[in-house]
Structure 1
Protein backbone atom coordinates (compact mmCIF):
# COMPACT_ATOMS: atom_id res chain seq x y z
CA UNK A 1 0.00 0.00 0.00
CA UNK A 2 1.36 3.42 -0.89
CA UNK A 3 2.63 5.66 1.88
CA UNK A 4 0.29 8.43 2.94
CA UNK A 5 0.97 11.81 4.49
CA UNK A 6 -0.30 12.80 7.88
CA UNK A 7 -0.42 16.18 9.59
CA UNK A 8 0.64 14.77 12.95
CA UNK A 9 1.94 16.98 15.69
CA UNK A 10 5.11 15.87 17.41
CA UNK A 11 6.39 17.20 20.72
CA UNK A 12 4.34 20.40 20.68
CA UNK A 13 0.83 19.74 19.48
CA UNK A 14 0.55 23.08 17.67
CA UNK A 15 3.42 22.39 15.28
CA UNK A 16 2.31 20.05 12.47
CA UNK A 17 4.85 17.94 10.64
CA UNK A 18 4.53 15.81 7.53
CA UNK A 19 4.87 12.10 8.16
CA UNK A 20 5.08 9.23 5.69
CA UNK A 21 2.99 6.35 6.98
CA UNK A 22 4.28 2.89 6.32
CA UNK A 23 0.71 1.50 6.08
CA UNK A 24 1.65 -2.07 6.96
CA UNK A 25 -0.37 -2.43 10.14
CA UNK A 26 -1.49 -5.84 11.40
CA UNK A 27 -5.13 -6.70 10.77
CA UNK A 28 -7.36 -5.02 13.32
CA UNK A 29 -5.21 -1.89 13.76
CA UNK A 30 -5.71 1.62 12.33
CA UNK A 31 -4.07 5.04 12.34
CA UNK A 32 -6.12 7.16 14.72
CA UNK A 33 -5.81 10.39 12.73
CA UNK A 34 -7.69 8.69 9.89
CA UNK A 35 -10.57 7.96 12.26
CA UNK A 36 -10.43 11.12 14.41
CA UNK A 37 -8.85 13.90 12.29
CA UNK A 38 -10.10 16.61 14.68
CA UNK A 39 -7.94 15.40 17.57
CA UNK A 40 -4.54 16.80 18.48
CA UNK A 41 -1.64 14.34 18.47
CA UNK A 42 1.39 14.90 20.70
CA UNK A 43 3.18 11.56 20.67
CA UNK A 44 5.55 12.06 23.57
CA UNK A 45 7.58 8.88 23.19
CA UNK A 46 8.62 9.91 19.68
CA UNK A 47 10.07 13.10 21.16
CA UNK A 48 12.62 13.75 23.90
CA UNK A 49 9.95 15.34 26.08
CA UNK A 50 9.11 12.23 28.08
CA UNK A 51 10.25 10.73 31.38
CA UNK A 52 13.24 8.96 29.73
CA UNK A 53 14.48 12.15 28.04
CA UNK A 54 15.04 10.32 24.73
CA UNK A 55 13.01 8.94 21.84
CA UNK A 56 11.72 5.56 22.94
CA UNK A 57 12.58 2.38 21.05
CA UNK A 58 9.95 1.43 18.47
CA UNK A 59 8.64 4.95 17.86
CA UNK A 60 9.79 5.69 14.31
CA UNK A 61 7.09 8.30 13.60
CA UNK A 62 4.84 10.57 15.70
CA UNK A 63 1.77 8.48 14.92
CA UNK A 64 -1.05 7.12 17.07
CA UNK A 65 -1.99 3.54 16.17
CA UNK A 66 -4.87 1.79 17.91
CA UNK A 67 -7.05 -1.28 17.60
CA UNK A 68 -9.93 -0.79 15.19
CA UNK A 69 -12.42 -1.53 17.97
CA UNK A 70 -10.74 1.00 20.25
CA UNK A 71 -10.69 3.62 17.50
CA UNK A 72 -14.42 3.17 16.89
CA UNK A 73 -15.16 3.68 20.58
CA UNK A 74 -12.82 6.67 20.76
CA UNK A 75 -14.53 8.25 17.74
CA UNK A 76 -17.79 8.08 19.70
CA UNK A 77 -16.00 9.81 22.59
CA UNK A 78 -14.75 12.54 20.26
CA UNK A 79 -18.17 13.07 18.70
CA UNK A 80 -19.76 13.30 22.14
CA UNK A 81 -17.20 15.86 23.32
CA UNK A 82 -17.56 17.98 20.18
CA UNK A 83 -21.02 19.00 21.31
CA UNK A 84 -19.55 20.21 24.59
CA UNK A 85 -16.79 22.28 22.99
CA UNK A 86 -13.87 19.89 23.50
CA UNK A 87 -11.43 17.96 21.33
CA UNK A 88 -9.04 15.19 22.33
CA UNK A 89 -5.29 15.45 22.66
CA UNK A 90 -3.71 12.01 22.33
CA UNK A 91 -0.31 11.31 23.87
CA UNK A 92 0.07 7.57 23.32
CA UNK A 93 -1.97 4.66 22.01
CA UNK A 94 -0.47 1.36 20.80
CA UNK A 95 3.02 0.87 22.28
CA UNK A 96 5.46 -1.81 21.04
CA UNK A 97 6.80 -4.31 23.58
CA UNK A 98 10.30 -3.08 22.69
CA UNK A 99 9.29 0.34 24.03
CA UNK A 100 8.18 -1.21 27.31
CA UNK A 101 11.50 -3.06 27.46
CA UNK A 102 13.22 0.29 26.87
CA UNK A 103 11.40 1.66 29.94
CA UNK A 104 12.66 -1.29 31.99
CA UNK A 105 16.26 -0.67 30.91
CA UNK A 106 15.90 3.05 31.66
CA UNK A 107 14.57 2.33 35.16
CA UNK A 108 17.64 0.23 35.94
CA UNK A 109 20.08 3.01 35.05
CA UNK A 110 20.20 4.84 38.38
CA UNK A 111 22.63 7.46 37.03
CA UNK A 112 20.17 8.75 34.42
CA UNK A 113 17.97 11.25 36.24
CA UNK A 114 17.92 14.10 33.70
CA UNK A 115 14.10 14.19 33.62
CA UNK A 116 13.58 13.66 37.35
CA UNK A 117 12.52 17.23 38.22
CA UNK A 118 9.94 17.37 35.43
CA UNK A 119 8.40 13.91 35.73
CA UNK A 120 9.19 12.21 39.07
CA UNK A 121 10.72 14.79 41.47
CA UNK A 122 9.77 12.97 44.68
CA UNK A 123 10.26 9.37 43.56
CA UNK A 124 13.13 6.97 42.98
CA UNK A 125 12.86 5.83 39.36
CA UNK A 126 13.60 2.25 40.40
CA UNK A 127 10.25 2.21 42.23
CA UNK A 128 8.07 3.37 39.33
CA UNK A 129 7.08 -0.20 38.44
CA UNK A 130 6.29 -1.13 42.06
CA UNK A 131 4.21 2.03 42.44
CA UNK A 132 2.15 1.21 39.35
CA UNK A 133 3.22 4.06 37.07
CA UNK A 134 4.99 1.78 34.56
CA UNK A 135 4.25 -1.86 33.75
CA UNK A 136 6.50 -4.54 32.26
CA UNK A 137 3.43 -5.79 30.38
CA UNK A 138 1.18 -2.96 29.19
CA UNK A 139 -2.35 -2.68 27.87
CA UNK A 140 -0.89 -0.25 25.34
CA UNK A 141 0.99 -3.16 23.78
CA UNK A 142 -2.31 -4.97 23.23
CA UNK A 143 -3.64 -1.96 21.33
CA UNK A 144 -6.36 -1.45 23.91
CA UNK A 145 -5.07 1.37 26.12
CA UNK A 146 -4.94 5.08 25.35
CA UNK A 147 -3.33 8.10 27.09
CA UNK A 148 -5.15 11.34 26.41
CA UNK A 149 -6.60 14.58 27.69
CA UNK A 150 -8.98 17.35 26.65
CA UNK A 151 -8.41 20.62 24.82
CA UNK A 152 -10.83 23.43 24.05
CA UNK A 153 -12.08 23.20 20.48
CA UNK A 154 -12.09 26.99 19.95
CA UNK A 155 -8.54 27.68 21.11
CA UNK A 156 -6.74 24.32 21.06
CA UNK A 157 -5.44 24.98 24.57
CA UNK A 158 -5.38 22.22 27.15
CA UNK A 159 -8.03 21.85 29.81
CA UNK A 160 -6.53 22.16 33.30
CA UNK A 161 -6.36 18.70 34.85
CA UNK A 162 -4.21 19.68 37.83
CA UNK A 163 -1.12 17.74 36.79
CA UNK A 164 0.62 17.15 33.46
CA UNK A 165 0.63 13.94 31.45
CA UNK A 166 3.02 11.25 32.71
CA UNK A 167 3.78 13.06 35.95
CA UNK A 168 4.57 10.33 38.48
CA UNK A 169 3.17 11.24 41.86
CA UNK A 170 0.05 11.33 44.01
CA UNK A 171 -1.27 14.43 42.26
CA UNK A 172 -1.88 12.28 39.16
CA UNK A 173 -4.15 9.88 41.06
CA UNK A 174 -7.72 10.46 39.86
CA UNK A 175 -9.08 11.06 43.37
CA UNK A 176 -6.15 13.07 44.74
CA UNK A 177 -6.86 15.79 47.29
CA UNK A 178 -4.03 17.91 45.86
CA UNK A 179 -6.07 19.62 43.10
CA UNK A 180 -8.92 22.12 42.99
CA UNK A 181 -12.65 21.44 42.57
CA UNK A 182 -12.46 22.81 39.03
CA UNK A 183 -9.58 20.48 38.16
CA UNK A 184 -11.50 17.54 39.63
CA UNK A 185 -14.52 18.54 37.55
CA UNK A 186 -12.39 18.60 34.41
CA UNK A 187 -11.03 15.12 35.12
CA UNK A 188 -14.59 13.93 35.65
CA UNK A 189 -15.66 15.23 32.22
CA UNK A 190 -12.95 13.10 30.59
CA UNK A 191 -13.56 10.06 32.78
CA UNK A 192 -17.33 10.10 32.38
CA UNK A 193 -17.29 10.29 28.59
CA UNK A 194 -14.65 7.57 28.33
CA UNK A 195 -16.59 5.26 30.65
CA UNK A 196 -19.80 6.00 28.74
CA UNK A 197 -18.20 4.67 25.55
CA UNK A 198 -16.68 1.51 26.95
CA UNK A 199 -13.35 2.44 28.52
CA UNK A 200 -12.11 1.63 32.02
CA UNK A 201 -10.12 4.30 33.93
CA UNK A 202 -6.94 3.73 35.92
CA UNK A 203 -6.99 5.24 39.40
CA UNK A 204 -3.30 6.23 39.49
CA UNK A 205 -3.20 8.04 36.13
CA UNK A 206 -6.10 10.33 35.21
CA UNK A 207 -5.11 10.21 31.50
CA UNK A 208 -5.01 6.40 31.14
CA UNK A 209 -8.00 4.36 29.86
CA UNK A 210 -8.39 0.78 28.62
CA UNK A 211 -11.11 -0.52 26.32
CA UNK A 212 -13.19 -3.00 28.31
CA UNK A 213 -13.95 -5.23 25.34
CA UNK A 214 -10.40 -5.46 24.01
CA UNK A 215 -10.02 -7.34 20.70
CA UNK A 216 -6.59 -8.67 21.76
CA UNK A 217 -6.89 -9.18 25.54
CA UNK A 218 -3.90 -11.52 25.87
CA UNK A 219 -1.77 -10.65 22.83
CA UNK A 220 1.22 -8.33 23.13
CA UNK A 221 2.46 -6.83 19.87
CA UNK A 222 5.92 -5.60 18.92
CA UNK A 223 5.58 -3.90 15.53
CA UNK A 224 7.03 -0.40 15.22
CA UNK A 225 5.02 2.81 15.26
CA UNK A 226 5.69 4.01 11.71
Structure 2
Protein backbone atom coordinates (compact mmCIF):
# COMPACT_ATOMS: atom_id res chain seq x y z
CA UNK A 1 0.00 0.00 0.00
CA UNK A 2 2.79 2.42 0.95
CA UNK A 3 4.65 1.62 -2.27
CA UNK A 4 1.51 2.27 -4.34
CA UNK A 5 0.98 5.61 -2.60
CA UNK A 6 4.62 6.56 -3.20
CA UNK A 7 4.36 5.82 -6.93
CA UNK A 8 1.10 7.78 -7.13
CA UNK A 9 2.65 10.78 -5.40
CA UNK A 10 5.63 10.68 -7.77
CA UNK A 11 3.35 10.57 -10.79
CA UNK A 12 1.30 13.48 -9.52
CA UNK A 13 4.45 15.48 -8.76
CA UNK A 14 5.95 14.83 -12.20
CA UNK A 15 2.70 15.72 -13.90
CA UNK A 16 2.34 19.01 -12.07
CA UNK A 17 6.03 19.75 -12.59
CA UNK A 18 5.66 19.28 -16.34
CA UNK A 19 2.75 21.70 -16.47
CA UNK A 20 5.18 24.56 -15.83
CA UNK A 21 6.46 24.09 -19.37
CA UNK A 22 4.74 25.50 -22.45
CA UNK A 23 2.62 23.01 -24.34
CA UNK A 24 4.75 20.86 -26.61
CA UNK A 25 7.81 20.81 -24.34
CA UNK A 26 9.10 18.16 -21.98
CA UNK A 27 11.92 17.55 -19.53
CA UNK A 28 14.21 15.12 -21.33
CA UNK A 29 14.65 13.03 -18.17
CA UNK A 30 10.95 12.15 -18.39
CA UNK A 31 11.60 10.56 -21.78
CA UNK A 32 15.15 9.26 -21.19
CA UNK A 33 15.49 8.76 -17.41
CA UNK A 34 19.16 7.77 -17.56
CA UNK A 35 20.31 10.63 -19.79
CA UNK A 36 23.77 11.98 -18.99
CA UNK A 37 24.41 15.71 -19.11
CA UNK A 38 26.95 18.44 -18.52
CA UNK A 39 25.01 21.67 -18.87
CA UNK A 40 27.87 24.06 -19.48
CA UNK A 41 25.83 27.27 -19.40
CA UNK A 42 24.58 26.53 -15.89
CA UNK A 43 28.11 26.85 -14.49
CA UNK A 44 31.32 28.77 -15.22
CA UNK A 45 32.91 26.34 -17.71
CA UNK A 46 31.68 27.93 -20.93
CA UNK A 47 32.92 30.54 -23.38
CA UNK A 48 31.53 33.42 -21.29
CA UNK A 49 33.29 32.19 -18.14
CA UNK A 50 30.21 32.55 -15.95
CA UNK A 51 26.68 31.13 -15.51
CA UNK A 52 24.38 32.23 -18.32
CA UNK A 53 21.07 34.04 -17.63
CA UNK A 54 18.03 31.80 -18.02
CA UNK A 55 19.77 28.66 -16.74
CA UNK A 56 18.60 28.16 -13.15
CA UNK A 57 18.44 24.38 -12.83
CA UNK A 58 20.28 21.28 -14.02
CA UNK A 59 17.45 20.23 -16.31
CA UNK A 60 17.28 19.54 -20.03
CA UNK A 61 14.21 20.80 -21.88
CA UNK A 62 13.26 19.98 -25.48
CA UNK A 63 10.23 19.95 -27.69
CA UNK A 64 8.37 16.68 -27.27
CA UNK A 65 9.09 15.44 -30.82
CA UNK A 66 12.81 16.17 -30.42
CA UNK A 67 12.92 14.36 -27.08
CA UNK A 68 11.16 11.31 -28.51
CA UNK A 69 13.53 11.24 -31.47
CA UNK A 70 16.51 11.39 -29.11
CA UNK A 71 15.05 8.47 -27.20
CA UNK A 72 15.38 6.38 -30.36
CA UNK A 73 18.97 7.56 -30.80
CA UNK A 74 19.74 6.57 -27.22
CA UNK A 75 18.20 3.14 -27.65
CA UNK A 76 20.28 2.38 -30.73
CA UNK A 77 23.46 3.68 -29.11
CA UNK A 78 22.88 1.48 -26.07
CA UNK A 79 22.77 -1.55 -28.34
CA UNK A 80 26.34 -0.66 -29.32
CA UNK A 81 27.49 -0.01 -25.76
CA UNK A 82 27.21 3.77 -25.88
CA UNK A 83 24.83 6.53 -24.84
CA UNK A 84 24.29 10.25 -25.22
CA UNK A 85 25.69 13.12 -23.19
CA UNK A 86 23.92 16.49 -23.48
CA UNK A 87 25.72 19.84 -23.29
CA UNK A 88 22.76 22.08 -24.15
CA UNK A 89 19.22 21.82 -25.46
CA UNK A 90 16.48 24.45 -25.16
CA UNK A 91 18.10 27.86 -24.62
CA UNK A 92 16.09 30.90 -23.52
CA UNK A 93 16.34 33.97 -25.76
CA UNK A 94 17.64 35.93 -22.77
CA UNK A 95 20.68 33.64 -22.79
CA UNK A 96 21.29 34.45 -26.44
CA UNK A 97 20.92 38.15 -25.65
CA UNK A 98 23.57 37.75 -22.94
CA UNK A 99 25.93 36.26 -25.55
CA UNK A 100 25.44 39.38 -27.68
CA UNK A 101 26.21 41.63 -24.70
CA UNK A 102 29.29 39.51 -23.90
CA UNK A 103 30.60 39.83 -27.46
CA UNK A 104 30.56 43.63 -27.19
CA UNK A 105 32.88 43.65 -24.16
CA UNK A 106 36.20 43.56 -25.96
CA UNK A 107 38.16 43.58 -22.71
CA UNK A 108 36.52 40.38 -21.48
CA UNK A 109 38.75 37.66 -22.89
CA UNK A 110 38.81 35.39 -19.83
CA UNK A 111 38.16 32.22 -21.85
CA UNK A 112 39.85 33.07 -25.14
CA UNK A 113 42.73 30.60 -24.78
CA UNK A 114 40.34 27.66 -24.36
CA UNK A 115 37.37 28.48 -26.58
CA UNK A 116 38.47 30.90 -29.33
CA UNK A 117 42.27 31.20 -29.34
CA UNK A 118 42.55 32.06 -33.04
CA UNK A 119 39.38 34.14 -33.51
CA UNK A 120 38.50 37.73 -32.74
CA UNK A 121 35.68 37.86 -30.25
CA UNK A 122 33.70 40.39 -32.28
CA UNK A 123 33.72 38.02 -35.28
CA UNK A 124 32.18 34.98 -33.57
CA UNK A 125 28.69 35.87 -34.77
CA UNK A 126 29.63 36.56 -38.39
CA UNK A 127 31.63 33.33 -38.49
CA UNK A 128 28.55 31.33 -37.46
CA UNK A 129 29.66 30.13 -34.04
CA UNK A 130 27.08 32.18 -32.14
CA UNK A 131 23.71 33.40 -33.44
CA UNK A 132 21.59 36.41 -32.48
CA UNK A 133 18.59 34.10 -32.92
CA UNK A 134 19.45 30.53 -31.99
CA UNK A 135 17.73 27.35 -33.08
CA UNK A 136 18.13 26.27 -29.47
CA UNK A 137 15.47 28.81 -28.49
CA UNK A 138 12.97 27.05 -30.76
CA UNK A 139 13.33 23.98 -28.56
CA UNK A 140 14.39 21.32 -31.05
CA UNK A 141 18.15 21.86 -31.25
CA UNK A 142 20.57 19.96 -29.06
CA UNK A 143 24.32 19.95 -28.44
CA UNK A 144 25.63 16.52 -27.58
CA UNK A 145 28.26 13.83 -27.86
CA UNK A 146 28.58 10.07 -27.38
CA UNK A 147 29.98 8.43 -24.26
CA UNK A 148 30.92 4.88 -23.32
CA UNK A 149 27.95 3.38 -21.47
CA UNK A 150 30.16 1.71 -18.88
CA UNK A 151 32.85 4.30 -18.16
CA UNK A 152 30.76 7.39 -19.11
CA UNK A 153 33.87 8.73 -20.84
CA UNK A 154 33.38 10.79 -23.99
CA UNK A 155 34.57 9.11 -27.17
CA UNK A 156 37.20 11.00 -29.15
CA UNK A 157 35.61 13.48 -31.55
CA UNK A 158 38.85 15.28 -32.35
CA UNK A 159 37.69 18.51 -30.75
CA UNK A 160 35.96 19.94 -27.71
CA UNK A 161 32.41 21.23 -27.34
CA UNK A 162 32.04 24.97 -28.05
CA UNK A 163 35.51 25.36 -29.50
CA UNK A 164 35.20 28.21 -32.00
CA UNK A 165 37.48 27.19 -34.81
CA UNK A 166 37.86 25.07 -37.92
CA UNK A 167 38.54 21.93 -35.85
CA UNK A 168 34.85 21.95 -34.91
CA UNK A 169 33.69 21.87 -38.54
CA UNK A 170 32.26 18.62 -39.86
CA UNK A 171 34.55 18.76 -42.88
CA UNK A 172 37.73 19.43 -40.89
CA UNK A 173 40.38 17.19 -42.46
CA UNK A 174 43.14 17.03 -39.86
CA UNK A 175 41.55 14.20 -37.86
CA UNK A 176 42.73 10.67 -37.38
CA UNK A 177 40.70 7.71 -38.64
CA UNK A 178 39.06 7.04 -35.29
CA UNK A 179 37.99 10.66 -34.82
CA UNK A 180 36.49 10.82 -38.31
CA UNK A 181 34.62 7.56 -37.74
CA UNK A 182 33.25 8.79 -34.41
CA UNK A 183 31.92 12.00 -35.93
CA UNK A 184 30.38 10.10 -38.80
CA UNK A 185 28.84 7.59 -36.39
CA UNK A 186 27.14 10.40 -34.47
CA UNK A 187 26.01 12.16 -37.64
CA UNK A 188 24.61 9.00 -39.24
CA UNK A 189 22.58 7.93 -36.22
CA UNK A 190 21.23 11.44 -35.59
CA UNK A 191 20.27 11.72 -39.26
CA UNK A 192 18.57 8.33 -39.12
CA UNK A 193 16.18 9.61 -36.47
CA UNK A 194 15.34 12.93 -38.05
CA UNK A 195 18.08 15.38 -37.08
CA UNK A 196 20.17 17.52 -39.43
CA UNK A 197 23.72 18.52 -38.58
CA UNK A 198 25.23 22.01 -38.53
CA UNK A 199 28.36 22.20 -40.67
CA UNK A 200 30.31 24.48 -38.29
CA UNK A 201 29.83 22.39 -35.12
CA UNK A 202 30.12 18.60 -34.93
CA UNK A 203 27.99 18.51 -31.73
CA UNK A 204 25.02 20.60 -32.97
CA UNK A 205 21.83 18.97 -34.33
CA UNK A 206 18.30 20.20 -35.09
CA UNK A 207 15.16 18.14 -35.62
CA UNK A 208 14.24 18.47 -39.29
CA UNK A 209 10.49 18.68 -38.70
CA UNK A 210 10.72 20.90 -35.64
CA UNK A 211 7.32 21.93 -34.25
CA UNK A 212 8.15 25.62 -33.61
CA UNK A 213 10.25 26.70 -36.61
CA UNK A 214 9.42 30.41 -36.26
CA UNK A 215 9.10 30.81 -32.48
CA UNK A 216 11.93 31.81 -30.15
CA UNK A 217 10.99 31.06 -26.55
CA UNK A 218 12.26 32.86 -23.48
CA UNK A 219 11.01 30.87 -20.49
CA UNK A 220 13.58 30.09 -17.79
CA UNK A 221 15.10 26.65 -17.30
CA UNK A 222 14.09 25.67 -13.78
TM-score by length of 2: 0.92
Equivalent of 1:54 in 45, 50, 56: 50
> What's 1:153 paired with?
149
Structure 1 runs (4+) deviating above 2 angstroms are 1-4
> What's 2:86 paired with?
90
Tell me the CA shift for residue 111 of structure 1: 0.3
Tell me the CA shift for residue 38 of structure 1: 2.2
Paired residues of 1:38 and 1:87 also in contact (CA < 8 A):
no
Q: Distance in 1 between matches of 2:96 and 2:18?
A: 22
> What's 2:119 paired with?
123
> What's 1:141 paired with?
137
> What's 2:214 paired with?
218
State the SS of the aligned residue for 2:132: coil
Alignment of 1:1-226 (within 5 A): 24-226=20-222
Q: Distance in 1 between matches of 2:195 and 2:216?
A: 19
Aligned Cα root-mean-square deviation (Å): 1.4
Paired residues of 1:3 and 1:23 also in contact (CA < 8 A):
no
Tell me the CA shift for residue 179 of structure 1: 1.5
Q: Distance in 1 between matches of 2:100 and 2:19?
A: 29
State the SS of the aligned residue for 1:146: strand
Q: Larger C-alpha radius of gyration, 1 or 2? A: 2
Unaligned runs of 5+ in 2: 1-10
> What's 1:8 paired with?
none
Tell me the CA shift for residue 3 of structure 1: 6.0
Paired residues of 1:161 and 1:187 also in contact (CA < 8 A):
yes
Q: 1:197 to 1:128 in 2, by over 3 A?
A: same
**Deviation sequence 1:139-183 (CA, Å, 0-9, x none):** 100001000000000111010000010000000001101221110
Q: Distance in 1 between matches of 2:43 and 2:18?
A: 19
Aligned residues: 210
Q: Distance in 1 between matches of 2:43 and 2:115?
A: 15
**Deviation sequence 1:5-48 (CA, Å, 0-9, x none):** xxxxxxxxxxxxxxxx6851001100011111222111100010
Q: Which has the higher helix share?
A: 2
Paired residues of 1:200 and 1:209 also in contact (CA < 8 A):
yes
State the SS of the aligned residue for 2:62: strand
Unaligned runs of 5+ in 1: 5-20
